[in-house]
A and B are shown apart, each in its own frame.
Chain A
C-alpha cells in the first residue's frame, strides 16, 4: 500500500483500512457437485461406487415395499396375491400386530390398559425430562406414574400400588424429619417407616383383594414390545440412581464402602448379561422356597438393573474425575456438607459430562432387553422367533418381521439419542 514504507522498520499507519465484505462465495449446483463429489479422480470413483451401491439397494428395497401386500392371513395366501412380483408380505404385521405389541397371552379385551399406560407415559415423562421449563410440582405426576402404570398393566387391587407409593412417601417424610439428627439415623428411620407401611399395606391388600380391583394379569402373560418397553424403562430409571450411588461409593474414603463398590462393579462388568439372566431364571428360583411368588419379571428387572448400574457407575466415575478439584474445595470452604456438595455442586456437573455415556448405556440396555427371549420370555424378538415363526400360517417369513422389529427399536433409540443431544445443548452453560 502507498502509506507503508517498506524500506524502513519503523511504521506508523496513516490511513485506516475500511472493513470490506468477505469475498462472495461461488454458488451453483454444478460447482457444489464438482467440489464435493468430483474434486479429484479418486473422489469421482468413490462417488460412482457409492451411487452403484445405492442403486442396488434401492432397486431391491423399493419394489419390496411398493409391491408389498397387507392382505391375506397366511404366507400361502400372501404368495398368491403377490404372484412373484418381489413385493413384501406385510400382512403378517397386520395380522400379528397385537401379538408383536403385547405377546400372545395378554387377554385381548384388557389391552386398552397397557395402551392407556403407554399414552400416560407421554404425560408422566415430560416433567422429568423437561423440568427446566415446567413448574416443579409437575414432578408429582412423574412420581405417581409408576404405581398407576403397574396397576393398569398388572391389575389387582389398587391397595398394592397405593401402599407401595405411600411407603416411599412415609420413608421420605421420616427421613427428612430425622435427618437433622444425622444422615444415617435419617436413613434408618426412613427405611423403618417405609417397611412398616408396606407391611401394613400387604396385610390390607390380602384382606381386601377386591377393593378397587382391575382384573389381574400374571407376569407370564406379559410379552411383545410392551415387555421390552417395561424392562427398558424400569431398568434405566432404576440403574441411574444405583449407578450414582456406586460411583460415589467407589470414591468413598471408607474402605468397606469403597471395597464393596469396586468388587460389585468389577464382578458385574466381568460377567455376560445373559448368564445373569439365566441366574435370574434358574438359580434364584432354586434357592427361593418353591411357593415363594418371586416374579420372573421382577427377577429379570433386578438382574438387568444390577448390570446396567455397574456400567453407569463407571460412566459417572469418569464425569466425577473430569471435575476440577477446585469445585470440591469451593463447596467445602463454603461449609456445604458432603451430601449437599454432591447434590448441588458435584453431581449436576458430573452428570452433565456423563450424558453421552449414560445414553450409550441406556440405549444398549434397551436393546439388551431382547435377551430375555432366551429364557423363554416372549418379548418382541421372542414372539417373532417363537409363536409367529413357528405357526403354520407364517413359517418361513423373515424379512418383514425383522424389519419391523428393527424399525420399532430404532424409533425408540433414536428418540433417546435426539433427546440427549437436546439436553446437552440446554445444559451448555459453562461457555468453555
Chain B
C-alpha cells in the first residue's frame, strides 16, 4: 500500500483540542448479557480511531451506541456537545451529524444511486432537489463512480456499493464518520478501492471511528488503535507501538492470529 506519501503527514498536528465524542462509564446489556462494560473513550475532533478485536467482542455494538442505533443502559455519551438521551430531538441531531457505513452497505435497492445520495439531504436537511443532486454528484465523483449515478445498487459491484454508501453518508455533511467493518464483505480485489476512499477522507481531516481488521489501513491512517475483548477496551495505543509491542496477552494472541498468516 502507498505508505510513503501519507506517512510524512503524520496526522498528530491536525487534531484539535475540541472533543468530538465523549463516552463515560458506559454499560450495555442485551437482556442479562453484559455486552459492553465500563467503556471510557474520548475522541478529539480530527482523530482517526481503529477498533479491532475478536468477533462478538462488542465492537459493532459500541459504535452503534454512538448514533443511538442501540441504546445503552448506563453511563453517558456526548457527541459534539449533544448528550445522547432518550430525547428524540437529540437523537435526530446526532444522527444527522454522524455518518455511518455498514458491513453490508445497506443501500436502498429500490432507489438509484443518485436517489440514495439525495434522499436524506432532501428530506432531513430540507435542501432543494437540484442542490442535493449537485452535492451528490460532487461526492460520487470523489468516490470515483459518477458514471453509475442512474443505476440501481444491485447493478454495482460490492466495492462500488460500499463507496456509494460512503458518498451517501458524506452528502449529509457529517462531522464524524463511523465504519463497521466496511471491507469484510468484499472480495479481496475490491478492498483497496474502498480503503483508498477512506484514506482520502482521513487526509481531509474527518473524525473517524473504524471497526476493521485491515492492519495496513490502521498503520497508515489511525492515530490510535483500540483492542476490545469481551465487551471491554483491553488496550489502546498509537498504531506503531500497538503492533510492535502489544502489552496484554489477549492482544498478543489476537494479533498473532490475524497477522500470523
**A residues at B contact (CB < 8 Å):** 324, 326-327, 329-330, 332-337, 340, 344-345, 348-349, 352, 427, 429-432
A184–chain B nearest beta-carbon distance, Å: 13
A36–chain B nearest beta-carbon distance, Å: 36
| Assembly CA distance A340 to B108 (angstroms) | 14
| Contact between chains at A329 and B106 (CB < 8 Å) | yes
Interface membership of B100, Cβ < 8 A: yes
Q: CB < 8 Å: which of A332, A333, A335, A429 contacts B110?
A: A429
Check A349/B155 contact, CB under 8 A, given A333-B95, A334-B172, A337-B92: no
Closest residue of chain A to B107 (Cβ to Cβ) is A330
The residues of B that contact A329 with a CB separation of less than 8 Å are 69, 102, 106
| Contact between chains at B92 and A330 (CB < 8 Å) | no
| Assembly CA distance A333 to B107 (angstroms) | 12
A138–chain B nearest beta-carbon distance, Å: 20
| Contact between chains at A333 and B155 (CB < 8 Å) | no
| Contact between chains at B110 and A330 (CB < 8 Å) | no
Q: CB < 8 Å: which of B104, B123, B155, B172 contacts A431?
A: B155
The residues of A that contact B108 with a CB separation of less than 8 Å are 327, 330, 345, 349
Interface membership of B120, Cβ < 8 A: yes
Interface membership of B154, Cβ < 8 A: yes
The residues of B that contact A345 with a CB separation of less than 8 Å are 108, 119
The residues of B that contact A330 with a CB separation of less than 8 Å are 102, 106-108
Check A432/B154 contact, CB under 8 A, given A335-B96, A352-B110: yes
Check A335/B120 contact, CB under 8 A, given A327-B106, A429-B109: yes
B14–chain A nearest beta-carbon distance, Å: 26
Check A335/B155 contact, CB under 8 A, given A327-B106, A429-B110: no
Closest residue of chain A to B155 (Cβ to Cβ) is A431
| Contact between chains at B154 and A334 (CB < 8 Å) | no
A323–chain B nearest beta-carbon distance, Å: 10
Question: Can you list 13 A-B pairs, Cβ within 8 angstroms, ordered by A?
Answer: A332-B68, A332-B95, A333-B95, A333-B99, A334-B95, A334-B119, A334-B120, A337-B92, A340-B124, A429-B109, A429-B110, A429-B152, A432-B109
| Assembly CA distance A414 to B102 (angstroms) | 43
Closest residue of chain A to B153 (Cβ to Cβ) is A430
Interface membership of B212, Cβ < 8 A: no
The residues of B that contact A334 with a CB separation of less than 8 Å are 95-96, 119-120, 124, 168-169, 172
Closest residue of chain B to A352 (Cβ to Cβ) is B110
The residues of B that contact A344 with a CB separation of less than 8 Å are 119, 123
Interface membership of B67, Cβ < 8 A: yes
| Contact between chains at B152 and A336 (CB < 8 Å) | no
B12–chain A nearest beta-carbon distance, Å: 30
The residues of B that contact A326 with a CB separation of less than 8 Å are 102, 104, 106
The residues of A that contact B99 with a CB separation of less than 8 Å are 333
Q: A334-B120, A335-B120, A432-B109 are in contact. List 15 more A-B contacts (CB 8 A).
A: A327-B108, A330-B102, A330-B108, A333-B69, A333-B95, A334-B95, A334-B119, A335-B92, A335-B172, A336-B123, A337-B92, A344-B123, A348-B110, A427-B110, A429-B110
Closest residue of chain B to A327 (Cβ to Cβ) is B106
Interface string of B72-116 (1 = CB under 8 A from A): 000000000000000000001001101110101011111000000
Closest residue of chain A to B70 (Cβ to Cβ) is A329
The residues of A that contact B69 with a CB separation of less than 8 Å are 329, 332-333
A417–chain B nearest beta-carbon distance, Å: 23
| Assembly CA distance A348 to B108 (angstroms) | 10
Summed over the interface, the residue pairs from A and B with CB atoms below 8 Å come to a total of 70
The residues of B that contact A324 with a CB separation of less than 8 Å are 104, 106
| Contact between chains at B120 and A430 (CB < 8 Å) | no
The residues of A that contact B107 with a CB separation of less than 8 Å are 330
The residues of B that contact A432 with a CB separation of less than 8 Å are 109, 154
| Assembly CA distance A300 to B119 (angstroms) | 41
| Assembly CA distance A332 to B172 (angstroms) | 13
| Assembly CA distance A185 to B51 (angstroms) | 44
| Contact between chains at A333 and B100 (CB < 8 Å) | yes
Closest residue of chain B to A432 (Cβ to Cβ) is B154
Closest residue of chain B to A429 (Cβ to Cβ) is B152
Residues 122-162 (chain B) with a chain A CB within 8 angstroms: 123-124, 152-155
Can you list the 6 inter-chain pairs with the closest CB atoms, starting with the nearest?
Answer: A431-B154, A326-B106, A330-B106, A335-B96, A430-B109, A334-B120
The residues of A that contact B124 with a CB separation of less than 8 Å are 334-336, 340
A423–chain B nearest beta-carbon distance, Å: 13
| Contact between chains at A333 and B109 (CB < 8 Å) | no
Q: CB < 8 Å: which of A335, A340, A349 contacts B95?
A: A335
| Assembly CA distance A337 to B92 (angstroms) | 8
The residues of A that contact B67 with a CB separation of less than 8 Å are 332-333
The residues of A that contact B102 with a CB separation of less than 8 Å are 326, 329-330
| Assembly CA distance A352 to B92 (angstroms) | 28
| Assembly CA distance A430 to B106 (angstroms) | 12
Closest residue of chain A to B99 (Cβ to Cβ) is A333
Closest residue of chain B to A427 (Cβ to Cβ) is B110
Interface string of B51-72 (1 = CB under 8 A from A): 0000000000000000111000
| Contact between chains at B123 and A340 (CB < 8 Å) | yes
The residues of B that contact A429 with a CB separation of less than 8 Å are 109-110, 152, 154
The residues of A that contact B120 with a CB separation of less than 8 Å are 334-336
| Contact between chains at B110 and A430 (CB < 8 Å) | yes
| Assembly CA distance A344 to B121 (angstroms) | 13
Residue from B107, B110, B155, B172 having most chain A Cβ neighbours under 10 A: B110
| Assembly CA distance A340 to B67 (angstroms) | 18
| Contact between chains at A430 and B104 (CB < 8 Å) | no
The residues of B that contact A348 with a CB separation of less than 8 Å are 110
Residue from B102, B108, B119 having most chain A Cβ neighbours under 10 A: B108
B257–chain A nearest beta-carbon distance, Å: 28
| Contact between chains at A431 and B152 (CB < 8 Å) | yes
